[in-house]
Amino acid sequence: MSEATRVDGSLRELSGYNALPRVGRLVLIAVVLLGVTAEAVVGRFAEVDGVPMTLDVASMLLLILFAWRPPIATAALIVISPLALAIDDAGFFGITLAASAGLVLYCCSPWLVLAYCALGTAWITASEFVANDLEHGGSIAMLAIGIVSGVIGHSMRVGRRRARSFAAENERLSIAARNAITLERERISDELHNIIAHELTVITLQTRALPLTQNEMERDAMIGAIGRSSEQALTDVRRMMKIVQDGDPSQSNEGVVASFPEALESSVRHLQDLGIEVELNGTVHVSVSQSIETTLVHLVSECTTNVLKHARSSKTVVIDVSEDAGRLNLAFRSELVESVPNAARGPHEGYGLRRMADRIGLLGGVLDISKQDGWWTIVVSMPRA
């Protein structure tokens, strides 16, 4: 750091200040004007020498500067203090100097406070021996006034600092509370989408296909699929209500697909119920951390739902599971069919995959969606732990 930079930083620290509040400024101005008026009246009737009275009025008017520029007011009082000794006006000016200690301690930087207290104490001590207008022991009274004023100013400064600290802490807690509410809403939204939207999609598609099916065995399979999905959706809704009421998801795990293999089994069953041939390759029984497995369960459900919604005329779905260099890879491929018209798409189209991509990214994984060689492909690579 250069010398110029250090000097500039020291000057900023020295000139820094805390402004008086609006009410404090108004009270200060009123008190000063009242004091100036009283000094003028007393000086006129007591026939006080004009020069000391002028200095007294000037020193009081300088106090008004504390309302806007406390460092300038402090420096000005220090600068004119030798003049008060020179013209034998130590008494009134000394009281003004001592009484101003509270304003200095409240408003000014620590360095300026230290300088003012040191120079002010030295001035009051010198006035005891130099000034002719000061009664014996008068410097002790001025020091007492300065101490009382300084204690009041310091107490107000500490109170202001605590108030600001409390306000900052309240703001921090308020932001934290808003963030927690937002995260909880997102969590509930994700849960609703992940565990309920899938079942409702199956119910909707099976219900639409049911009147068009003449084969009794196929109709029975569809009705069975509708019943299973309805029961699962009802169980999931009850679980979500339990979580919202108790705030503890561990207390209500009934009916929830708990593992990656079970999620794949459920996905295969739903797709086969709609007449889609499923080819499952790889080992589904893999060892991964709980957070990774939970994400994989939701991912399988989301991929299945997307196939049912957008590629239900696909005849084949291929699911590949593989492990490579400590990572688990999952590929979900369905035959590319004509896209769903924009008018038929819902207002939240793509929400599930966007949220899933965010979740996978937070866990150090990558999600890639592409169209290749007549296949719609979703590929995920995630760490095992």
User: What does the pLDDT look like over 22-46, one tens digit per residue?
Assistant: 888 898 888 888 887 877 776 555 5
Name the β-bridge partners of 366: 381
The DSSP call for residue 256 is -
Largest CA distance in the chain: 122
CB 84 within 8 A of CB 93: yes
More confident residue, 105 or 301: 105
What digits encode the pLDDT tens for the residues 110-137?
888 999 999 989 988 888 787 776 777 7
Instruction: Tell me the C-alpha distance between 345 and 55, whole Å.
Output: 84
End-to-end CA distance of the chain: 46
Whether the pTM exceeds 0.75: the reply is no
Which pLDDT belongs to residue 287? 81
Over residues 265-280, the pLDDT tens digits come to 888 887 887 778 888 8
Closest CA to 294 of 196, 219, 194: 194
The pLDDT tens digits for 290-338 are 888 888 888 888 888 777 776 666 778 889 998 887 888 898 888 876 5
Q: What value does the CA radius of gyration of the chain take, rounded to a whole number of Å?
A: 40
Tens of pLDDT, residues 192-201: 666 666 677 7
- Burial of 280 per CB tally in 10 Å (0-12, 13-18, 19+): middle
* Nearest one of 218, 337, 225 to 271, comparing CA atoms: 225
Contacts of 83 (CB under 8 A, 6+ apart): 55
- More confident position, 152 or 46: 152
Q: Which two tokens stand for residue 367?
A: 């999600």
Highest mean pLDDT among 4-13, 66-75, 215-224 belongs to 66-75
Q: How confident is the model at residue 147 (pLDDT cuts 50, 70, 90)?
A: very high
Tell me the three state secondary structure of residue 286. coil
